[in-house]
Amino acid sequence: MMTVSALDLETPLSALDEPAWLKEEREAARALFARLPWPTAKDESWRYAAGRLKSVPFDWPLALPRGKTLQKEELPEAVRERLKGAEYAGLLVFLGADLAYAELDGDLKEKGVLFTGLLEAARRHPERVRESLYRAVPAKDGKLPALMAAAWTHGAFLYLPKGLEEPRPFFAFFLHEEGTLSVGRTLAVLEEGARASYVEEHLGEGAHLAASELFLRPAAHLVHAHVQTQGEKSYHLYRQRALLEKDTGLRDLTVNLGADFARAEVGSELLGPGADSEMLGVYFAAGRQHHDHDTLQHHKSPQARSDVYYKGVAKDEGTIVYQGLIRLEPGAQKTDAYQTNRNLLLNRGARAESVPKLEIAANDVRCSHGSSIAPIDEEELFYLRTRGFSKESAENLLVAAFLEDVLGRIPLKDLADHLARVIEEKVFREPLLAEKGR
């Protein structure tokens, strides 16, 4: 198996059977990866994360496809449990680098919808993939984006033709394997007037690098969620960019609940008037977990709107970091842009950093930002204790209430309910209402 240390121009991923144009893109990305420096604490966006980046095992074997397939009745229990009672338009399940199961509603196939593995799409539908791939997250963006561009071996591709509206969500599940470095890529393209919801969830172990590129043509609308619930000995590095044209709408959710070290870089490029981007974030770090978040609201067009609302909780010796930038170009007049970050610390050993930033080159705009870091409210905790709750359950209830206003803004109720259950199961040591009779 190949490791990152072997990534050079003489080591093509020949096992992937990809088209020549994609191989050329990889070669160029490998050359950049070899030249570009690793991020350090001197890089502002990596100020709090560079130290933990050194712990990521980039020398682990790179996950490559091995031909694994599954029947629907053989899907992992975690996936079957997640899908119980859910209606969906399409489903992809990845085991390591293998697309082990794929399903798409037959009527949608006839209407021109594509929902498949990205490598498969590059081979069979190059006209749909080539013009968009690497545009939103190019290799030139840095050392890690170059690695993501050079070494990805699997990922999801979603394409909706002009005017098609699908109310049911598309789901993709990625189950990563312990002891491997997994590199994936998602590409979603919604043509003019299309509407869809896409949810991807990352489970399992290992180290994973993920790049997501979202393209919304005029009047397209997308609800998008990236959910990470990997094991506590895992690593998850994620970079997403969405390109929003005229009158588009993006509702984006980033969730980090697992992994020893997780970093999410999420950004929207507002390219046309009427574009509207809402980015939500939920994260919880316990033990010695480090969850790092970096958001970008980049306004290039006038009369566009963006809103960021990220909330995080840290306990034990966990560390949570938020850095956000609202950047307005000179032509971005009549912009509405908002940025809010709230953090809750459950004990003295927990740590949070919050750094909201503005770069405004236009003069007829409405922009605001705000952040807070606070301990749990002792009066609220005392009140719940007097009502018969244990300290642990009272604390859990207050954390759930703290996160609820973010979960309440998720337009997919099934997803919001699922995340509430995951938060309770993964991060609370006692059920919320454990006491008898509650």
pLDDT tens-digit series, residues 298-348? 999 999 999 999 999 999 999 999 999 999 999 999 999 999 999 999 999
- What is residue 101's predicted lDDT score, i.e. its pLDDT? 98
Same domain for 25 and 170, yes or no, is yes
Same domain for 74 and 223, yes or no, is yes
Residue 390 lies in a domain: yes
- What is residue 142's predicted lDDT score, i.e. its pLDDT? 96
Same domain for 122 and 257, yes or no, is yes
For residue 327, which of 293, 362, 353 has the smallest C-alpha distance?
Answer: 362
The upper half-sphere exposure of residue 137, i.e. CA atoms within 13 Å in the direction of its Cβ, equals 30
- What is residue 438's predicted lDDT score, i.e. its pLDDT? 35
- What is residue 12's predicted lDDT score, i.e. its pLDDT? 42
Same domain for 250 and 387, yes or no, is no
Residue 138 lies in a domain: yes
Q: How far apart are the C-alpha atoms of 54 and 237, rounded to whole Å? A: 13
Q: What is the pLDDT of residues 163-182, one digit of tens each?
A: 999 999 999 999 999 999 99
Contacts of residue 339, Cβ cutoff 8 Å, sequence gap at least 6? 295, 297, 307, 308, 324, 326, 356, 368, 369, 370
Residue 266 lies in a domain: yes
Indicate the angle between helix axes 20-35 and 143-151, nearest 10 degrees.
Answer: 150
- What is residue 14's predicted lDDT score, i.e. its pLDDT? 63
- What is residue 7's predicted lDDT score, i.e. its pLDDT? 58
Final residue in a domain of this structure, among 241, 271, 301: 271
Amino acid residing at 246: K
Same domain for 398 and 263, yes or no, is no
Q: What is the pLDDT of residues 2-54, one digit of tens each?
A: 566 655 434 446 667 899 999 999 999 999 999 999 999 999 999 999 999 99
Q: How far is CA 130 from CA 4, 76, 127, 256, 368, in A?
A: 25, 33, 6, 30, 38
- What is residue 404's predicted lDDT score, i.e. its pLDDT? 86
- What is residue 429's predicted lDDT score, i.e. its pLDDT? 58
Same domain for 265 and 392, yes or no, is no
- What is residue 418's predicted lDDT score, i.e. its pLDDT? 81
More confident of the two residues 359 and 11: 359
Same domain for 261 and 388, yes or no, is no
Residue 232 lies in a domain: yes
Domain of residue 14: give its range.
4-271
Q: How far is CA 79 from CA 38, 60, 330, 416, in A?
A: 35, 26, 47, 16
Same domain for 52 and 191, yes or no, is yes
- What is residue 435's predicted lDDT score, i.e. its pLDDT? 42
Count the domains in the chain: 2
- What is residue 336's predicted lDDT score, i.e. its pLDDT? 95
Residue 361 lies in a domain: no
Q: Residue 227: phi, psi to the nearest 5?
A: -115, 125
Confidence of residue 396 (pLDDT cuts 50, 70, 90): confident
Which 8-state DSSP code applies to residue 426?
A: H
| Planar angle of CA 373, 323, 287, nearest 5 degrees | 60
- What is residue 126's predicted lDDT score, i.e. its pLDDT? 96
Residue 327 lies in a domain: no
Q: What is the pLDDT of residues 420-437, one digit of tens each?
A: 887 777 666 555 554 433
- What is residue 401's predicted lDDT score, i.e. its pLDDT? 87
Residue 110 lies in a domain: yes
Same domain for 253 and 386, yes or no, is no
Same domain for 14 and 155, yes or no, is yes
Lowest mean pLDDT among 227-231, 365-369, 421-425: 421-425
Final residue in a domain of this structure, among 222, 243, 271: 271
Same domain for 241 and 384, yes or no, is no
Same domain for 266 and 390, yes or no, is no
For a pLDDT cut of 90, what percent of the chain falls above it?
78
Final residue in a domain of this structure, among 243, 271, 299: 271
Residue 337 lies in a domain: no
